[in-house]
Chain A
């Protein structure tokens, strides 16, 4: 491998979880040539999940958790071009153009362009004061800076994980937080009603107000505070507004280069696009999941890291295909939520509340007899066992699973 790649250049666009893990995996797999990562974000590549969780509540001035220590970029010869935006891909020339007009050749190009927050077209939102998304270190820093004793009324638009985690963190910092969710319950896109109810109650216990069926129609800023108006006539005062209603996948570069796009950049089982020399990884990809037998797009660290490993091996000539069970986590207050699998398409759930421990629950999602997913609240056993069952397509005795007197062990539900 070394003789083949020593003069070659691998260019990566996007230096977050997918891009950075890919770069180090590529070096580990034996790539000898240059590896160059571009990202418009000037911050040294950092872990994103803590931004809405531990980082937001940590001491001001705390640095982000770095994905890899700085010295590893030197020892592994991974070049970072931070604060630089790539403006186009020229597939014929096998080069990219950077916004300052300079050109960088590549032999292999990897798109890890991720996604950006979707800011809905709400009247007045663009002229409101102290409006933030929650995606980058800059967002988290700006939110933390804005919150003070004069500005502590926060309205979060969107009751998904980002919204709820941010709500938990800001309420910990002393903010008065209201979450406005358009659907009839929070987390409606990703979980069963049991989970929505659990988190609604959890937030209420901590003094956060979760309002569902709240469709925000306009925001007015009147000299010192924002007024968030909903279509049912209600309105909420907000010093700070945080928008967490979803993302837009960054596919523009790929699309303009003529790569196949379908709900993301379409890739094969090796994470390769329809161009032999261009791969795509992470949140921006529309990829096939062999376990669930369908094409999906995933916003997750797990997918970014697993695809990074597959692509690195594939580029270095190893026959490997992507085959991972998705997993996720969320931290809110002192609750640890761990999720495995994809629940979409479930037709019933089984909920367990363990009696031998406080606040230890799990929801098991089934489509007929097939276990699709498990959401585990302070219950790593359920999460780990669910992972194993899903991986093995294990047939489960649902009567036993429903019986709370039967403890969770590797064999108790088989």
Chain B
């Protein structure tokens, strides 16, 4: 079981728990504003962009080549950017905090 916290651009805090799936699915399930996941989680649409809290970064890890290429030209990219459809839910990410990109 992993606890995952989303902070939206409206300053809403949404605390979720899950054991399987990916973080984008979890966000959609919990109606996290700003996470759409239009492509269904195949790293094609960049509608699930989050900024990982620096303190959580080591748990989440760096993006793949494809994902970092998708992110590189995004206007809101930061060094802690991830597309959360590419983050699998597991005990390893328990406690992470994600800021939803605008």
Which A residues have a C-beta under 8 Å from some C-beta of B? 28, 47, 49-50, 65, 67-69, 71-72, 301-302, 305, 327, 329, 331, 336, 338, 378-381, 383-385, 388, 410
**Distance, CA A336 to CA B40, complexed state (A):** 15
Per the 8 Å Cβ criterion, residues 17-40 of B in contact with A are: 25, 28-29, 31, 36, 38-40
Which residue in chain A gives the minimum CB-CB distance to B36? A305
Which residues of the other chain, B, contact A338 by a CB distance below 8 angstroms? 44
Interchain CB contact under 8 A, A385 and B44: no
Q: Check: B15 CB closer than 8 A to any chain A CB.
A: no
Contact flag A329-B42 (CB < 8 Å), given A69-B25, A69-B29: yes
Selected interface stretch from B53-61, B70-78, B88-96 = B70-78
**Distance, CA A262 to CA B70, complexed state (A):** 37
Interchain CB contact under 8 A, B45 and A28: no
Interchain CB contact under 8 A, B73 and A65: no
**Distance, CA A329 to CA B39, complexed state (A):** 9
**Distance, CA A379 to CA B69, complexed state (A):** 8
Which B residues have a C-beta under 8 Å from some C-beta of A? 25, 28-29, 31, 36, 38-46, 66-67, 69-70, 72-74
Contact flag A50-B44 (CB < 8 Å), given A71-B29, A380-B69, A388-B73: no
**Distance, CA A324 to CA B44, complexed state (A):** 16
Which residues of the other chain, B, contact A47 by a CB distance below 8 angstroms? 40
Which residue in chain B gives the minimum CB-CB distance to A309? B36
Interchain CB contact under 8 A, A65 and B41: yes
**Distance, CA A331 to CA B46, complexed state (A):** 17
Which residue in chain B gives the minimum CB-CB distance to A388? B73
Which residue in chain B gives the minimum CB-CB distance to A381? B69
Interchain CB contact under 8 A, B66 and A72: no
Which residues of the other chain, A, contact B73 by a CB distance below 8 angstroms? 381, 384-385, 388, 410
Which residue in chain B gives the minimum CB-CB distance to A53? B42
Q: Residue A384 contacts which of B38, B41, B42, B69 (CB distance < 8 angstroms)?
A: B69
Which residue in chain A gives the minimum CB-CB distance to B74? A384
Interchain CB contact under 8 A, B38 and A305: yes
Which residues of the other chain, B, contact A383 by a CB distance below 8 angstroms? 70
Which residues of the other chain, B, contact A49 by a CB distance below 8 angstroms? 39-40, 42
Which residues of the other chain, B, contact A69 by a CB distance below 8 angstroms? 25, 28-29
Q: Residue A327 contacts which of B36, B45, B66, B72 (CB distance < 8 angstroms)?
A: B45
Which residues of the other chain, B, contact A65 by a CB distance below 8 angstroms? 40-41
Interchain CB contact under 8 A, B25 and A329: no
23 A–B contacts, CB within 8 A, in A order: A28-B31, A47-B40, A49-B39, A49-B40, A67-B40, A68-B28, A69-B25, A69-B28, A72-B28, A327-B45, A329-B39, A331-B42, A336-B66, A379-B69, A380-B43, A380-B66, A380-B67, A380-B69, A384-B46, A384-B70, A384-B73, A385-B73, A388-B73
**Distance, CA A327 to CA B47, complexed state (A):** 13
Which residues of the other chain, A, contact B39 by a CB distance below 8 angstroms? 49, 301, 329
Interchain CB contact under 8 A, B70 and A380: yes
Which residues of the other chain, B, contact A301 by a CB distance below 8 angstroms? 38-40
Q: How far is the CB of B16 from chain A (nearest CB, A)?
A: 12
Which residues of the other chain, A, contact B69 by a CB distance below 8 angstroms? 379-381, 384
Q: Add 11 more A-B contacts to A327-B44, A378-B66, A384-B72 (CB < 8 A).
A: A49-B40, A65-B40, A69-B25, A71-B29, A301-B40, A338-B44, A380-B67, A384-B74, A385-B73, A388-B73, A410-B73
Which residues of the other chain, A, contact B66 by a CB distance below 8 angstroms? 336, 378, 380
Nearest 7 CB-CB pairs, A to B?
Answer: A380-B69, A384-B73, A47-B40, A329-B44, A380-B70, A381-B69, A305-B38
Which residue in chain A gives the minimum CB-CB distance to B28? A68
Which residues of the other chain, A, contact B41 by a CB distance below 8 angstroms? 65
